[in-house]
Amino acid sequence: MLKGIIFDLDGVIVTTDQYHYQAWKKMADKENIYFDEEINHRLRGVSRMASLEIILEKANKSYTDEEKKALTDYKNDYYKKLLQDLSPQDILPNVLKVLDTLKKNNYKIAIGSSSKNTKLILKQIGLSHSFDAIADGTDIKRSKPHPDVFLIAAERLNLKPFECAVIEDADAGIEAAKNAKMYAIGIGAATNSELCDAKITDIKEVIDIIMKKA
């Protein structure tokens, strides 16, 4: 029986794709590295350093670990500046309704995000106090598809993994949910993943799926 729902943040609750793109693009231009929206798409749900490694596939020189750290810092400083524009209006359609319905039906809700900026993003969109637990990039060493972030979220909800469902927009996140032995619901880009237990086009469909499994 499902008792808890763990939400990925970026791509499920809010979209920061454009901000990530602009910030990585600024870094790539500075380094004369080719970067486009298609490469940006491959960064969905992937950690900051793993994202840089993907971007560096197009670089003409190799970078030391210190240089890589400086590049991710450069990107993140600019990304955080862009996040100042994020507001509650950026919460994706029907998200608030779904959170409210789940709470009214006594489900516990959590965030399970790879982002180290999770708390800043939640603050900007006014949802800092809306979840029973938060697990994010600052809690883990191994990013999605490793299950760690979801296992920590379940632990903080005081639930067993099999009592939790995950809602994800990235293949790596669906894989992480299955590695955690949780029920994996794919939305957006993640609906291409064969590993999804359920696929949705609108987050409000989550309610029916969860209630049916009760």
> Nearest distance from residue 117's CB to ligand B16, in Å?
4
**Least Å from the CB of residue 51 to ligand B16:** 5
Binding map of Mg ion across residues 113-132, x = CB under 5 A, - = no contact:
--------------------
- Beta strands at 198-200 and 133-135: parallel, antiparallel or unpaired: unpaired
Q: Is 208 a catalytic residue?
A: no
User: Which residue in 11, 112, 186, 188 binds Mg ion (CB under 5 A)?
Assistant: 11
Identify each DSSP E strand in 147-202 by its residue range.
Answer: 164-168, 183-187, 198-200
- 25 near ligand B16 (CB under 6 A): no
Which of 24, 25, 45, 107 binds Mg ion (CB under 5 A)? It is 45
Pick the closest to residue 19 from 71, 75, 74 (CA basis).
75
Q: Which stretch, 34-42, 79-87, 143-151, 167-175, contacts Mg ion (CB under 5 A)? A: 167-175
Q: Residue 120, exposed/middle/buried by CB under 10 A (0-12, 13-18, 19+)?
A: middle
> Rounded CA gap, 147 and 149, in Å?
6
Is residue 122 within 8 Å of 128, Cβ to Cβ?
yes
In the bound state with ligand B16, the residue whose beta carbon lies nearer, of 117 and 193, is 117
Contact (Cβ atoms closer than 8 angstroms) between residue 63 and residue 71: yes
Told to judge if 10 belongs to the known catalytic residues of this protein, a careful annotator would answer: yes
- Binding residues (CB under 6 A) for ligand B16: these are 8-11, 20, 43-48, 51, 76, 113-117, 137, 170
